[in-house]
Amino acid sequence: MSNFISKTMKITKLLAILFISALCFTACSEDDDHDHEEEITQLVYTLTNTDNSADVVTFTFTDEDGEGGADGITEVSGNLTANATYKGKLELLNLEEEEDISAEIAEDDAEDHEIFYITNVAGLEFTTTDVDTNSNPLGFDTDVTVGDAGTGVLTISVVHEGKKPNTGIEDALSGDGTTDIEVTFNVTVQ
């Protein structure tokens, strides 16, 4: 009888260990997926002048240790040319994992994302040229028109699970939408 109890206790312990291991594995997998979606350590927005391919302005935000660590660094490679037009391309990267998050979003999750370009520079306008499968704006590709000389800021905001279609970022965030990343750059037009 004691041999039976001993075997039953061993089986119970084994089942408990397996159950706990399965829970831990499931929890880690879910956390990894969630972190993967949120972990953008670099944003690069490149503008190329449509009339002069040598006129390239790059807006870069890098936060190598991710959210919660040291502040990230913003850099702007130069000034925009007054009264010019540019083609824009946004890249979202995870430097630690060497992943192109923007490509993954565009391929697998475009319906749940939209990128907004908000500026206070008079005459600086952004038009989204790419769409998701529902023909709603996405925002990785843009046409940019530049007005007269001036200074101000440009805020790039990546909204996740926002309302689509919408009338702007406030409308997009009016439901359950959240901001994956939002970065503000100084802009000079000359």
Which of helix, strand or coil describes residue 108?
helix
pLDDT digits 0-9 by tens, 167-180: 999 999 998 899 99
Q: Which pLDDT value is given to residue 20? A: 40
Question: Considering the entire predicted model, what is its pTM?
Answer: 0.80
pLDDT band at 56 (very low <50, low <70, confident <90, very high): very high
Class for the domain spanning 39-189: mainly beta
Tokens standing for 13?
A: 């312990």
pLDDT digits 0-9 by tens, 10-25: 544 444 443 443 333 3
Q: Is the pLDDT reported for residue 99 higher than 90?
A: yes
CB distance 119 to 88 below 8 Å: no
CB distance 84 to 146 below 8 Å: yes
Comparison of pLDDT for 69 and 152, the residue scoring more: 152
Q: How many CB atoms lie within 10 A of CB 179?
A: 14
Domain ranges of the chain: 1-35, 39-189
